[in-house]
Amino acid sequence: MSQSPSFENLETVAAAFCMEGAPKEITPYGNGHINDTYLLVCEDGGTEKKYILQRMNRSIFKNPAALMENVANVTAYLRRLISEKGGDPDRETLQVVKTKSGENYLEDNYHNCWRVFPFIDHTFCLEKVENAGDFYDCAVAFGNFQQQLASYPAHTLHETIPLFHHTPSRFRDFKKAVDEDSMGRASMVQEEINFALSREPDTRVLTDLLEKGELPLRVTHNDTKLNNILFDVSTRKALCIIDLDTVMPGLSLYDFGDSIRTGASTGAEDEPDLSKVELDLSLFETFTKGFLKGCGGSLTPLEIKLLPMGAKLMTYECGIRFLADFLVGDTYFKIHRENQNLDRARTQFKLVADMEKKWEDMEEIIRRLS
Ligand code: ADP
Ligand code: GN1
Ligand code: MG
């Protein structure tokens, strides 16, 4: 199938799922960097039913069956918890719509893998924090997500992307991309490469502590960027955590750090004007308060102490991933313009440098809140 499937192709795919009504409109949707996402509107006897139809990224997710087993089991588990608490499972978590043959996803004749979720209507995603209250809600929701999954049988989860947040392994991949320089781009980004290389000793801090058993392995989301949470239009409350492809055992610091990276930056992830990018300390404080609350006292003193390191390392790690992708020719993260991955890497490194400048302030905030 071509890169942009036609309505007819998509309609055929959609028809294989247990949906209400017949497909009327199918349009590209959202700003994810990984999967191809469509809003699918179906007509059912005069009423509209909406779904999210996604083509999973096969070059990233090597085992779609294992991935979808994780998503189906985790969402079924969350639905039970939400119902027990009197919440609305149809709006507060995702639900896997099965294919007509009872599978969690469909593999078409071209080896594309597709899945469907009910569209959670009257919601919006934030690409940038608009006010501190939203970011606080987001922090409580992500902390709470980790709490909810604390009793989930972690051993049943498949590792959908091996070594996803293993920063030393990410560093090795980055170094390989620099050494191979397959696109001949390294000479134009020497300053960025040197910035990343000089911080190599930091890469091991969290994984060493994990290996020594000083940091607990938890079930974490691992991709807690701002646009992976849906807000309710009427209440403007954080409603539903989405993008569950990387729910796996991990460190709480990964989830904390990835949200700071995206939500506490004053600029967009791909902002070309670096003067607009810095760490907003007040948003850092807001998120920390919310996350501690959401985790309900479950974080250990060492986890709390290391929250600034979580923020810095997740930002650094994302920076080297973007830069490596730029060096190999933009094969992983979707780009919509030339040099977008380079701009993304630059914003992450600018944020890392700013965090290093504001290190004492971050530590002081953590001391005050703990
Ligand atoms: P990616 O892995 O590419 O980031 P996501 O699963 O995060 O893909 O989906 C991309 C976007 O689609 C989200 O940021 C959100 O805007 C929207 N989205 C995904 N699932 C739903 C849903 N069930 N209801 C409403 N919007 C959704
Ligand atoms: C990707 O899927 P999405 O767009 O929410 C990526 C994250 C990165 C992020 C950078 C599976 O997230 O790890 O931090 O882009 N997801 C995967 O914006 O690699
Ligand atoms: Mg996403």
Which tens digit of pLDDT belongs to each residue from 40-65?
999 999 999 999 999 999 999 999 99
Top CATH class, 7-119: alpha beta
Summarize pLDDT for 236-262 with one digit per residue, the tens. 999 999 999 999 999 999 999 999 999
Summarize pLDDT for 82-101 with one digit per residue, the tens. 999 999 999 999 999 999 99
CATH 3.90.1200.10 domain position(s) in the chain: 132-369
Pocket lining for ligand 1, CB < 6 angstroms:
29-35, 37, 52, 94, 117, 119-120, 123, 125, 227-228, 230, 242-243, 245
Backbone φ and ψ of 15, nearest 5°:
-65, -15
Give every CB contact of residue 352 below 8 A, 6+ residues apart in sequence.
Answer: 195, 199, 312, 315, 316, 319
Average pLDDT, rounded, for the chain: 97
CATH 3.30.200.20 domain position(s) in the chain: 7-119
Give every CB contact of residue 282 below 8 A, 6+ residues apart in sequence.
Answer: 132
- Indicate the top mutation candidate among 225, 245, 313, 334 to test ligand 2's pocket, ranked by most ligand atoms within 8 A of CB: 225
Taking phi first (over 0 means left), then psi (-120 to 50 degrees means alpha), and beta for anything else, what does residue 326 get? Answer: alpha
Which ligand 2 atom lies nearest to the CA of residue 314? 14
| CA of residue 244 to ligand 3 center, whole Å | 9
Amino acid identity, position 253: L
Judged on CB neighbours under 10 Å (0-12, 13-18, 19+), 78 is buried
Residue with the smallest CA separation from ligand 2 atom 17 is: 34
Top CATH class, 132-369: alpha beta
| CA of residue 361 to ligand 3 center, whole Å | 30
Amino acid identity, position 333: F
At residue 6, the pLDDT reads: 84
Give every CB contact of residue 210 below 8 A, 6+ residues apart in sequence.
Answer: 217, 251
